[in-house]
Amino acid sequence: MGAYVKVNRHGKAKILTHDEIQTLFNDGLNNLRDRVIFAVCLFTAARINEACTLHTLDVYDRRGNVRVELTFRKSNTKGKLATRTIPVIDELRGYLEKYRPEAGRKWLFPGGVFRDNPATHLNPRSASRVLKKAFDRVEIDGASTHSMRRTALTLMSNAGIPLRTIQEVSGHRNLEQLQQYLEIQPEQVRGAVSILSLLSPIDDTPVNIHSYLHNPPLEPLPSDNSSL
């Protein structure tokens, strides 16, 4: 049976609101391990397979301290494109400092019949089932493990982070793949079109186009910061 993938009517996993995230972590996920797994997905935009296959030393040093950056190994990424490192922000660090696996354990999230089986990591399908039950528990519809990744990437895009920078976080092969993850809201479209109001004359004086083209104003046009 395949991993749980529940999507909205547009065929994509739901983007979570701030309130839904709070509800999920406070009331939907029952234990610290599960909260840490999905905090990793949310705060690094990781795929569920990437989170489940983390080694303990990818996240903690040998003294058990949380690293400044966690590492997703090339062998565990989709398409095995490249190893990537993601800074650990304070919100994620708080979860990881509470979790602190025992020294010498290979997998950050052990799997198998017994949770502490050191021989294997948690199966991503098992993690997906955990999340499905959590979403059902708090009555959040249309969401899946991909919701964490889509929510994180869309939030960065909406904040104006350049797509090339977001791609470094997400590990997508190209920008076209990344853009398929992002959700555009109607108000963003309205905002984009409203920018065109800058083309409007500043007064009602008719503009002589011929004169304008041959004698352009010396005053500089507004700068375009989109490439910054």
Euclidean distance between CA atoms 72 and 120, whole angstroms: 17
Mean pLDDT over all residues of the chain? 77
Note the pLDDT of residue 159.
Answer: 79
For residue 76, the model assigns a pLDDT of 59
Residue range 113-141, pLDDT digits in tens? 555 556 788 999 999 999 999 999 999 99
Q: Is the pLDDT of residue 224 over 60?
A: no
pLDDT per residue as tens digits for the range 94-114? 999 999 888 888 999 998 655
Quick one: pLDDT at residue 4?
42
| Torsion sign over Cα 69, 98, 54, 170 | negative
User: Where do the domains of the chain lie?
Assistant: 18-170
- CA separation for the pair 112, 135 (Å, rounded): 23
Find the DSSP H helices in 4-160: 18-23, 32-44, 48-52, 90-99, 124-137, 145-158
Topology of the domain comprising 18-170: hpI Integrase; Chain A (1.10.443)
pLDDT at site 138: 97
Q: How far apart are CA 44 and CA 55, in angstroms?
A: 16
Contact 28, 137 (CB under 8 A): yes
